[in-house]
Every structure is written in structure tokens, then in C-alpha cells.
Chain A
Amino acid sequence: MRADDAKSFEEQAVLHLETVYRVAVRLARDEHEAEDLVQETYLKAYKAFNRFEMRDFGIRPWLLRILHNTFLNRTTRQKRAPRATDQQALEQVVGKESSAGDFRGPPALDYEHLDAEVKAAMERLGPEFRVVLALWATMEFSYQEIADILAVPIGTVMSRLHRARQHMLRELEGYAREHRLSLGAQEK
């Protein structure tokens, strides 16, 4: 890599460190592991910068794609138990309840004070759903961009996002009932 490329990489990539770290935390669910993941991602990206495939779309989606692949490789390497790690696992959590026609809208809650509950609900999802939610929650990516980052069809992104959101809403409703909060129109 030329010195200019190295400088260019550092200037461009470090700007996106915060976004990459936040998505890493959501994926790893552990701050220290997220730091490792981010460092490995940047090192891989640096080595591959002259083969930078998504130049037209900017460096950030490319970094996030490397992050995601790195996370998946680590998960495979560590042979973790498939605890809520795939579509099937999510089915076990919400599958029975989320049949077609069972669509629900968000309950009337005070969303300005539910950050911790939303975060907990996100963390109970499998990584394939968490990563879609995390990228969606940054409010900076369209569905197509998320699909490009994860190298999956846009329909998969829409389906995962829909199911993940429905799961979150159920969790929030459960929380509201537990704490005897009014669900507004949902109760009627």
C-alpha cells in the first residue's frame, strides 16, 4: 500500500469509528469483545484497502460489511451454541405468535423513556436480526444500503426488520403490562 493510500485510509476510516463501534457493541453484546472486533475490522480493512470494493458507496458500508463478516467468522470459529443466532431461533421466540395477519403497531407508550427496555429487547434477538436493527436504528441507511452491507437481498432485510420490530413491540407490551403502564389504544 502506498503511503498516500495509508494516509487516505486512516483519514477516511477513523471518521466512522463511532458508527462501527456502536454496531459492534450490538453484535457482540460485550464492550471488550466489541473493541477487539473493531480493531480486527480496521486492520482487515487497512490490508484490503487497495481492493476496496464499495468505493462508489463510500467507506462506511464497506467497513460495516467487514465488521459483520468478521463477527460471523469469529462466531463460527468459537463454535458458540446457536443461542438465538438464526432465523429458526427467532421463530422459537416469536414464531408462534407472529403469524400472518397478526401485525401490530407500536403501543402508545412514552418512547422518550424506554431506551433501556428497547436496548434489552434488541439484545434478546439473534445477531442477524440485531445487526439489521442496529443499522436501521442509526437512521443513516436505507433498506437497500443495509442489504448491500450484509450482502443479502433487500427482501431479507425487510423481513428481518419486520420480525425484529414485532418482537420488540411484544417485549415492550410485556414490560408495560408488568409495570402496569397504560398501553393506550392497544388495550382497547
Chain B
Amino acid sequence: MTPQQVRENLPLYADGELAPDLARAIEAHLAAAPELRDELERWRALRRCARRAMMTPELPAGLANAIRGRLHRQKSVIRRYAWPLSGGVGAIAAAIVLLVLLWPGATTVAEPRLVSAERFAEIYRRCAVQHQHNTLAGVDLNDLDAVRCRIASCRTHPVLLPDLSGRGFRLSGVCECFREPGVRVVHASYRREAASQAPGPEVVSFFSVDQKVNLAQSQPLACPHRQRGQYQFAQFEDVVVCKWDELTNSFVVCSQTEADRLRELADEVNLALRIPAAPLPLAFAWLSFVGGGG
């Protein structure tokens, strides 16, 4: 890579948009050139400056209420025209739900979607380590309950975030940069507390997936402390990815550490899921999942 190419790629690197191999090449140049590091910092400063410039003017105080008012007026218009249909549609919908629930084999779960394990490693590198993404503006990340409430308020699927403070980690960011069609993933990154003396990695990523998925490019591994299933493990250079399923969801942890250490961490992740002793129909299992989550 020529010096000119390195400079032209710096803004993309600052934005976390370079492919891993190119990013590593840039990092090699950065390590050797303090002036490049200064330039990189200026690109980042320019973006921060643009962000601050976006912050004015303030959101008008009455705008939210004005919008709510218009939505409520719109609601009443829609309701006035929609109610004659709603009874019939509701009855048909109820019949369909009953039919689906009572149909033999109705609780059979579709084959889990296959997701590339490397994408989890990429998000770990980009969002957790490099850019420390956090889209939860104004929420105290030390208050996990507040974080969970905020996420629950804008998600239609349950998102479970573990408390890793017992392992010396605090939540440092939440984002949804992991994109996979048909799959909703919330990514939470955790950083080691400054005072923590426990051995282990500095940064850990945790992914809450809204359905069961299987990791492509992974190996199965025994899951000693979980009641069912097993882990899937994959490693990309120094980043290890570990996935397991609980009820109808998958969870992934990811870090730059040894596989055994990550498995220990995964073993200890407590999502407070109530797993029933005997298999229940899917609908009941889901209810117990939602009830126990968080």
C-alpha cells in the first residue's frame, strides 16, 4: 500500500469501514508513523465536531406532543372506518391461531438459520474494541435495569443482557450493527473494570439473537453447565466466538481470549431463564421465557 493509499483509507478506517485485512495493513502503518496517527485523530475529531454541530438547535419542546396529538386524531379516524371489519377479522385470526396450535406437529421449530461466525468476530473488533459503539444516548450504562427498560421499550422481541459485574466487567455500549436479513441481533459490549484483578480479556461482546441460529465455520463443544444443547465454537485469529441456545433464542459471546476462558465465561452467564423440567408446548415455553427474562 502506497503512502497516498494509506492516507486515502484513513477516513474509512476511522469510520470502522475497512475490511479486516486492510484495517490491519493500516494499523501497521499507524504503528510506525506518528503523523498518520495525528491525521487519524483529526478525522475522528472532524466527525465528533460534525456530530456536535448536529446537536443544535434543540428539539422543540412541543414537537413530541404535537405529533402524539396528530397520531391520536388519525387513530380515531382509522377506528371509525375500521371497526365494522375488526370483529370478523379477529374471529378469523383466532381460528387460524387455534388451528395452528392444535395442528399435529404445530410446535415443530423450523431449522435454525445459518449465520457466519466471522461476522460476530467482525462486530466485536469494529464496534466493541475499535469504536466502542453505543446507541443508547442518555442512559446510564451502569444501571443495567435502566438499559434493559430502554431496550424493551423499543423492541418487540425479548433482549436479554447479562450482568457480568461478578466477572469484573461493566457494560460499555449497546448497538445493532450486526445485520442479517430475517434475524434481529442486539450487541452489548463489556469492558473490564479498572479495579478488576481477575485474569481475562479486556473486552467482551455479548449478542442476544431473537431466534435460534447456527454458526457456520464452527465446531461443537460440550456445554457442561447448561441443561441442554451444546456450544458452537469458532476462532478467527485471536478472536473466539461461542454460541449456545436457550429455549427459542441464541446467545453469543466473543472475545480475544482462549477458548477455555471464554467457555468458562459463557458457563457463568446467567440470563435468569426459567427452563421447565419437562418439555412444554412452544407457546407455554415462550411465555415462561418472557416471564423469566431479564
Q: Do B184 and A122 have beta carbons less than 8 Å apart?
A: no
The answer to the question of A14 belonging to the interface, with a C-beta cut-off of 8 Å to chain B, is: yes
Q: For residue A74, which residues in chain B have a CB less than 8 angstroms away from its CB?
A: none
Q: Given A31-B57, A142-B177, decide whether A105 and B10 contact each other with a Cβ distance below 8 A.
A: yes
Selected from B49, B64, B176, B184, the residue in CB contact (under 8 A) with A14 is: B64
Interface residues of B (CB under 8 A from A): 4, 7-8, 10-12, 15-17, 35, 38-39, 42-43, 45-57, 59-60, 63-64, 66-68, 70-71, 74-75, 78-79, 82, 86, 133, 135, 153-154, 156, 175-177, 179, 181-184
Residue of B nearest to A10 (CB): B71
Q: Given A105-B7, A106-B39, A108-B38, decide whether A119 and B56 contact each other with a Cβ distance below 8 A.
A: yes
Q: Digitize A38-49: 1 where CB-to-B-CB distance is under 8 Å, 0 elsewhere.
A: 110011001100
A-B contact count (CB 8 A): 139
Q: List 19 A-B contacts (CB under 8 A).
A: A14-B64, A15-B154, A31-B60, A35-B66, A39-B63, A42-B67, A47-B74, A58-B184, A106-B39, A106-B42, A106-B43, A111-B42, A111-B45, A114-B49, A115-B56, A118-B49, A137-B50, A142-B17, A165-B11
The answer to the question of A178 belonging to the interface, with a C-beta cut-off of 8 Å to chain B, is: no
Q: Do A122 and B15 have beta carbons less than 8 Å apart?
A: no
Q: How far is the CA of A119 from the CA of B51 in the complex (A)?
A: 9
Q: How far is the CA of A103 from the CA of B48 in the complex (A)?
A: 21
Q: Do B59 and A21 have beta carbons less than 8 Å apart?
A: yes
Q: Given A106-B46, A138-B54, decide whether A35 and B7 contact each other with a Cβ distance below 8 A.
A: no
Residue of B nearest to A119 (CB): B53
Residue of A nearest to B39 (CB): A105
Residue of A nearest to B156 (CB): A8
Q: For residue B38, which residues in chain A have a CB less than 8 angstroms away from its CB?
A: 108, 185
Q: Do A115 and B52 have beta carbons less than 8 Å apart?
A: yes
Q: For residue B74, which residues in chain A have a CB less than 8 angstroms away from its CB?
A: 43, 46-47
Chain B nearest CB: distance from A105 CB in Å? 5
Q: Do B46 and A165 have beta carbons less than 8 Å apart?
A: yes
Q: How far is the CA of A14 from the CA of B86 in the complex (A)?
A: 26
Q: How far is the CA of A80 from the CA of B265 in the complex (A)?
A: 59
Q: Do A103 and B7 have beta carbons less than 8 Å apart?
A: yes
Q: How far is the CA of A105 from the CA of B54 in the complex (A)?
A: 22
Q: How far is the CA of A39 from the CA of B38 in the complex (A)?
A: 43
The answer to the question of A134 belonging to the interface, with a C-beta cut-off of 8 Å to chain B, is: yes
